[in-house]
Structure 1
Amino acid sequence: MSLSIRGKTAIVTGAGRGIGLAIAKDFVDRGANVMFADSDEALLEAQVSEAAEGNDQIRSFAADMSRKLAMANLLSATIDAFDRVDILVNAHRVVKRSDPLDTDVDTLEEMLRQNMMSALRMSQLVARRMIRQADENQGNDEAGAIVNLSTLAGTRPVPDLLGYSIACAALDHATRGLALALAPHKIRVNGVRFSSVMSHEMKGALREEPSIRDSIIAGTPLGRIAAADELADTVTYLVSPGAGFVTGQILTVDGGRSIADSVTASLL
């Protein structure tokens, strides 16, 4: 099974930290050209500038990843730097708590815009470019691969993260819909649904409330919190030739958490 992505060009959003950063770095290590994109310019500069110095494989782009103009400029910057795009990973996420009984829908709308609509619109934009590239080359090879990141909240709603949970569920459904729509164009679309991963958000939660570490570990059959690099490995598989016949799937990377009921989890 080939996991080679050497020579491919990838856009990774949310690449300034955590899971997105781990994915982008893994792609670079495997020989891909990578555009690191994030909304936090200072953070992106701090993470990427040293690695990018003298490395023609790396570029960075900072802008609000939920804005249409920013998305168009991101794609243009990628084409200017590398001439094409073969891989898109939508790892940009924003998590905000919400009151499930509050009638104010602002938080819900923001969570949908930041976590679902941004990924959907970026996928549509990049897919059109992938189709054009395939038409120009007139080849029979795969035209591109897209991966969307969501979390277990999409299948197991968290009451005080209701807006985020709804956005994750919507993104999973959008992933499957795009997979069907883009399959005739030889573009594969998959998702990774994760939980119990040492993401930026997880680190923040553990700083605020260290005691939840024990609860997470107790509810995870494999008995630990995964490293971001482990999620990066899954994403790399999905965009590689090794997953050439895989599309429309949402792979769950959660240490078995989603298959353990609350009673079983309390005994682990």
Structure 2
Amino acid sequence: MSFSITGKTAIVTGAASGIGLAIARHFADKGANVMFADVDEDRLDAEIGEEARGDGPIRSFAGNFCEKLAITNLLSATIDAFDRVDILVNAARRMALSDPLSADADAVSDLFRENVMSGLRLTQMTAKRMMHWADQNAVEPGTPIGSIINLSSVAVRVTQPELLGYSVSCAAVEQVTRSMAVALAPKGIRVNAVAIGSVMSGSLQYALKEDAAARQKIVAQTPLGRIAAPDELSETVQFLASDASSFITGQVLTVDGGRGLLDGVRFAAH
């Protein structure tokens, strides 16, 4: 079974920075046609502006994907450029700290809207485009036609009260993953998620510069004793996007170096 995604078309959200950018670039390096999608048009242009111009395998689209029109336009732009969509990676996420005893309801709602509802709507609309393409091309029922990958977090399993809104939204993403996997399985579309720990993206590098002690804290809570490189996550997402995972759906793969295995309470050996 092949890990190849050469010639496939992928939409990656959150692709102007951090993990989304790493995944999108990895996919392009592996031969996929990639639509880099993000709400931040200036940063998107700064990262891949020149590469996205012309008729090559990289394109970009900026929009607020909490809005249905932006999703419709994203899908239309992708299909106009590449004819079809094979892979969707919902990598756009926002993390915010809050006091669990006085969490602002609006702030929690905003995180839920951005981290859950936008990805759900994009998943629904992308799946419909995949199914429409299959109907137009007389694809036999049950034939694999697409793979959708959502990003979640180890925060779902490692309780961090200050991340109440973020943790709840990621838990919802995992349930959406399972529900959509069952609903779309008869259509030949697989839906999985990757729950991540700490990955050395640009945003984490910046955060560690601001808080030098944070690196030691992360490493101490990670049995493998290090922070993941972006490609380690990108390779996992590629696996789920490829035919190598053709019998995997509705699953949450945890890529955290074992961080979710620890309860934080340690006893000295005698």
TM bin (shorter chain): over 0.9
Greater shift in the superposed pair: 183-192 or 22-31: 22-31
Matching of residues 21-170 of structure 1 within 5 Å: 21-53=21-53, 56-102=56-102, 104-140=104-140, 141-170=143-172
Matching residue of 1:211:
213
Matching residue of 1:185:
187
Query: 1:208 Cα shift?
Result: 2.8
Query: Which residue of the other structure, out of 201, 218, 228, is the alignment partner of 2:230?
Result: 228
Q: Sequence identity, in percent?
A: 56
Greater shift in the superposed pair: 187-196 or 20-29: 20-29
Q: Secondary structure at the match of 1:262?
A: coil
TM score, norm. by length of structure 1? 0.95
Q: Is the 8 A contact 1:11 1:88 kept in 2?
A: yes
Q: Secondary structure at the match of 1:148?
A: strand
Aligned pairs, how many? 267
For 1:205-256, what per-residue CA distance to the aligned partner results, in whole angstroms no more than 9, with x for missing partners? 3233221110100110110000111100000000100000000000000001
Matching residue of 2:248:
246
For 2:145, give the aligned amino acid.
Answer: A
The 1:47/1:161 distance shift into structure 2, 3 A limit, reads same
How far, CA to CA, are the matches of 1:153 and 1:261 in structure 2? 13
Q: Secondary structure at the match of 2:115?
A: helix
Greater shift in the superposed pair: 58-67 or 48-57: 48-57
Query: 1:103 Cα shift?
Result: 5.3
For 1:26-85, what per-residue CA distance to the aligned partner results, in whole angstroms no more than 9, with x for missing partners? 111111111000111111011112333556101000111222211111111111111111
For 2:59, give the aligned amino acid.
Answer: R
Q: CA RMSD in A?
A: 1.7
The 1:80/1:27 distance shift into structure 2, 3 A limit, reads same
Gaps of 5+ in 1: none
Greater shift in the superposed pair: 64-73 or 200-209: 200-209
Query: Which residue of the other structure, out of 187, 194, 200, is the alignment partner of 1:198?
Result: 200
The 1:135/1:212 distance shift into structure 2, 3 A limit, reads same
Gaps of 5+ in 2: none
Matching residue of 2:261:
259
For 2:241, give the aligned amino acid.
Answer: V
The 1:100/1:119 distance shift into structure 2, 3 A limit, reads same
Q: Secondary structure at the match of 2:254?
A: strand
How far, CA to CA, are the matches of 1:42 and 1:83 in structure 2? 26
For 1:132, give the aligned amino acid.
Answer: H
The 1:108/1:266 distance shift into structure 2, 3 A limit, reads farther
Q: Secondary structure at the match of 1:147?
A: strand
How far, CA to CA, are the matches of 2:162 and 2:217 in structure 1? 17
Query: 1:126 Cα shift?
Result: 0.1
Q: Is the 8 A contact 1:65 1:92 kept in 2?
A: no
For 1:123-167, what per-residue CA distance to the aligned partner results, in whole angstroms no more than 9, with x for missing partners? 001001111111122224311000000111122232111111100
Q: Is the 8 A contact 2:2 2:244 kept in 1?
A: yes
Query: 1:94 Cα shift?
Result: 1.1
How far, CA to CA, are the matches of 2:35 and 2:42 in structure 1? 16
The 1:209/1:58 distance shift into structure 2, 3 A limit, reads same
The 1:91/1:266 distance shift into structure 2, 3 A limit, reads farther
How far, CA to CA, are the matches of 1:160 and 1:103 in structure 2? 9
Matching residue of 2:177:
175
How far, CA to CA, are the matches of 1:204 and 1:113 in structure 2? 26
Query: 1:201 Cα shift?
Result: 4.1
